[in-house]
Structure formats: structure tokens, C-alpha cells
Homo-oligomer: A and B are copies of this chain.
Amino acid sequence: MKPQEASECCGPIDDLLDAELFKALGEPTRLKLLSCLAKCGRPCSVTELTECCAVDFSVVSRHLSLLQKAGVLTATKEGRTVFYAVRYKHLTEAFRALAKSIEDCRPKRRSAKK
């Protein structure tokens, strides 16, 4: 069987392999922001999060916006301040589902029993 023909042999891995999500997480500054936000355990403002990394606050603003678009964070505006928070449940479920779909693709060794 050719690789490109194997389209139905396992779970919805294509839907779970989200390039936008991985691209969003594949940048050190954004990863640092996510880490700070996750460990802090509460919503933080752009200004607060700027203290986490050594870039301009405008850069932080863009990174946070991108992480929100990718489904990693939520944004809530209160007055002049925007609070970003980690989408814990969403991320946890996404990675668990991905892990399972990869696991399900793994060919089981066919020994005596099926």
C-alpha cells in the first residue's frame, strides 16, 4: 500500500495535526509567555506578561493575539486592560486526543492472536 493511499486505516489524525497550533507554539518567546501564564494560574495583562520576556510590549501584544487565534489563550477586556488566560481544558483535551490518535495508528504486532 502506498503511503498516500492509506487514508482510512486509523483515527482523525489529520484533524488533530493542526499546523496553526504547532506553529503558534513553535516560537520561544510565545512558549515563554504560555509557560508564564500557565504557571501563574491566573489571567494576566499584556503589560504584566511583558515582564516575562525581553521584547517590546507591542511584540508581546502580537504574540498573545496570535496565541489566541490558535486557540491557546482567551482574551477578556476589562476597561483598558486585556487579560489573557490559558485554555487549560481545551489544550489538555487537544493533546490527549492527539496522543490517542497517534497511538491508534501504531500497528499492533500480529503474533498468534489477532
A residues lining the B interface (CB < 8 Å): 1-4, 6-7, 9-10, 13-14, 17, 19, 21-28, 31, 34-42, 44, 48-49, 51-52, 86, 88-89, 91-96, 98-100, 102-103, 105-107
Contact = CB atoms under 8 A, between A and B. Distances in A.
B2 A39 contact: no
Contacts of A98: 95
Count this chain's copies in the assembly. Answer: 2
Is the contact region of chain A dominated by helix, strand, or loop, or is it mixed?
A: helix
B105 A89 contact: no
A95 B104 CA distance: 14
Contacts of A34: 17
A102 B105 CA distance: 24
A17 B35 contact: yes
Contact of A3 (B44, B91, B92, B107): B44
